[in-house]
């Protein structure tokens, strides 16, 4: 326990408190229990060594008017298609924090207006890989209208060499039909062992790098967990209707440390080419072809 320290700044910076898949109108609330880790925590954040064990608790309050029976389970975290961090549903085979965390009970019944504390233990495997591991403790209830879930995230950083790293793949250019706005799409992969987001920019240029247009300021990507990926779409305005059209994409990993300081790491570059003819070029070529046919026919008729 002595080597465990809170990393709330990291959690705040990555927005780990919000779990959009969870029901906002649920008749109960959850939060970390007040204990030796401190009061009024928003989530669980630890730095641990391989083989270490953490004991903590979840506080559950029934805000409804009827007794409430809830399932309690641990789950792995992941980056949803929306780019927001989420927790796996019950029954998913967890391999990370969801497999390491064990609530003392798998169900809890709470009377109206009352609260219950659910202890849990996180046992980090001795061969756990260094870096960030995300999961959470989830409470849920099923009804005829579906499943409601409320949970609290666990961000656990295992000691060792931290290797924040991103890669970019599948860069594609979608040129404008008549010039103007084009889009560039690509996939950002978190190939390192730390949770990072990406500062991103894209530009498009015609032959020999001429007529370059830039995307300007683009919102940073959402936080990506190790092993996750995210599909990005960036608009570039002021693009000329030329062929070929080349794209340059740059993503810069953003790493936030325990103190909340942001570090910009080495940028990653990728590119692609578009050889589709813009509509204006197609029209010009068609007109030239038609003109050539007319001239040829007139010459043939003159003979």
**Placement of tokens 């920019």 in the chain:** 201
Q: Identify the domain boundary among 107, 129, 158.
A: 158
Which residue, among 229, 235, 242, 226, has the nearest Cα to 284 in the 3D structure? 242
Q: Which domain holds residue 123?
A: 8-158
Residue at 14 is within a domain: yes
Q: Residue 177, CB half-sphere, CA atoms under 13 Å: how many?
A: 2
Is-contact 167 254, C-beta < 8 A?
no
What is the Cα–Cα distance from 262 to 278, expressed in whole angstroms?
Answer: 41
Residue at 295 is within a domain: no
Instruction: Determine the pLDDT at residue 38.
Output: 93
Whether residues 94 and 129 share a domain: the answer is yes
Whether residues 104 and 206 share a domain: the answer is no
Whether residues 44 and 113 share a domain: the answer is yes
Q: pLDDT (tens digit, 0 to 9) for every residue of the chain, 303 residues total?
A: 333 333 333 333 333 333 434 555 789 999 999 999 999 999 999 999 999 999 999 999 999 999 999 999 999 999 888 878 899 999 899 999 999 999 999 999 999 999 999 999 999 999 999 999 999 999 999 887 788 999 999 999 999 999 999 999 999 888 766 567 888 999 999 999 999 999 998 988 877 667 788 888 889 999 899 999 999 999 888 777 666 778 889 999 998 765 567 788 888 888 766 554 454 555 555 667 777 777 777 766 666
Whether residues 38 and 152 share a domain: the answer is yes
Q: Identify the domain boundary among 140, 158, 176.
A: 158
Residue at 297 is within a domain: no
Instruction: Determine the pLDDT at residue 300.
Output: 67
Specify the CATH number for the domain of residue 187.
2.60.40.10
Instruction: Determine the pLDDT at residue 258.
Output: 59
Residue at 104 is within a domain: yes
Whether residues 29 and 139 share a domain: the answer is yes
What is the Cα–Cα distance from 117 to 54, expressed in whole angstroms?
Answer: 16
Instruction: Determine the pLDDT at residue 244.
Output: 74
Report the predicted TM-score, pTM, of the whole model to 2 decimal places: 0.76
59-78: string of b/e by CB count within 10 Å (b at 16+)?
A: bbbbeeeeebebbbbbbbbb
Query: Greatest CA separation found in the chain?
Result: 102
| Strand blocks (E) in 10-80 | 28-32, 44-48, 53-62, 68-79
Whether residues 17 and 118 share a domain: the answer is yes
Backbone phi and psi for residue 95, each to the nearest 5 degrees, phi listed first: -125, -10
- 83's enclosing H/E stretch is none
pLDDT tens digits, 215-256: 888 899 998 999 999 999 998 887 776 667 788 899 999 987
CA angle 170, 172, 176 (to 5 degrees): 170
What is the Cα–Cα distance from 97 to 120, expressed in whole angstroms?
Answer: 12
List, in sequence order, every residue forming a beta bridge with 168; answer none if it has no partner.
188
- Tell me the two tokens of residue 172: 């594609």
Whether residues 13 and 151 share a domain: the answer is yes
Q: Identify the domain boundary among 118, 141, 158.
A: 158
Instruction: Determine the pLDDT at residue 20.
Output: 36
Residue at 287 is within a domain: no
Backbone phi and psi for residue 69, each to the nearest 5 degrees, phi listed first: -110, 125
**Placement of tokens 């497999």 in the chain:** 99
Residue at 289 is within a domain: no
Residue at 3 is within a domain: no
Whether residues 171 and 150 share a domain: the answer is no
Whether residues 260 and 184 share a domain: the answer is yes
Whether residues 105 and 212 share a domain: the answer is no
Residue at 45 is within a domain: yes
Instruction: Determine the pLDDT at residue 272.
Output: 67
Q: Around Cβ 187, how many Cβ atoms within 10 Å?
A: 15
DSSP class per residue in 148-165:
EEEEEEEEEEESS-----
Counting the structural domains of the chain, the total is: 2
Whether residues 151 and 57 share a domain: the answer is yes
Whether residues 177 and 139 share a domain: the answer is no
Instruction: Determine the pLDDT at residue 47.
Output: 93
């Amino acid at each position: 326990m002595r080597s465990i320290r809170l990393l709330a700044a990291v959690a705040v910076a990555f927005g780990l408190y919000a779990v959009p898949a969870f029901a906002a109108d649920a008749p109960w609330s959850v939060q970390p229990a007040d204990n030796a880790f401190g009061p009024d925590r928003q989530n669980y954040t630890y730095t641990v060594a391989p083989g270490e064990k953490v004991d903590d608790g979840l506080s559950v309050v029934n805000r409804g008017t009827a007794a409430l029976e809830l399932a309690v389970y641990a789950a792995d975290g992941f980056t949803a298609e929306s780019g927001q961090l989420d927790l796996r549903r019950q029954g998913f085979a967890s391999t990370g924090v969801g497999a390491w965390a064990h609530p003392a009970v798998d169900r809890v019944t709470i009377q109206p207006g009352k609260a219950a504390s659910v202890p849990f233990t996180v046992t980090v495997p001795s061969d756990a890989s260094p870096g960030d591991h995300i999961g959470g403790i989830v409470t849920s209830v099923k009804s005829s209208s579906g499943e409601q879930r409320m949970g609290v995230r666990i961000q656990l950083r295992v000691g060792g060499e931290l290797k924040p790293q991103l890669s970019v793949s599948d860069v594609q250019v979608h040129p404008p039909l008549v010039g103007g706005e084009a889009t560039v799409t690509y996939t950002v992969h978190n190939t390192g062992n730390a949770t990072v987001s990406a500062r991103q920019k894209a530009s498009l240029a015609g032959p020999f790098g001429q007529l370059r247009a830039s995307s300007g300021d683009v919102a940073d990507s959402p936080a990506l967990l190790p092993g996750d990926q995210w599909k990005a779409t960036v608009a570039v305005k002021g693009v000329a209707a030329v062929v070929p059209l080349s794209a340059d994409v740059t993503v810069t990993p953003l790493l936030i440390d325990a103190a909340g300081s942001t570090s910009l790491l080495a940028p990653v570059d990728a590119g692609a080419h578009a050889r589709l003819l813009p509509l204006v070029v197609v029209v010009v070529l068609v007109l030239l072809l038609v003109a050539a046919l007319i001239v040829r026919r007139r010459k043939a008729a003159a003979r």
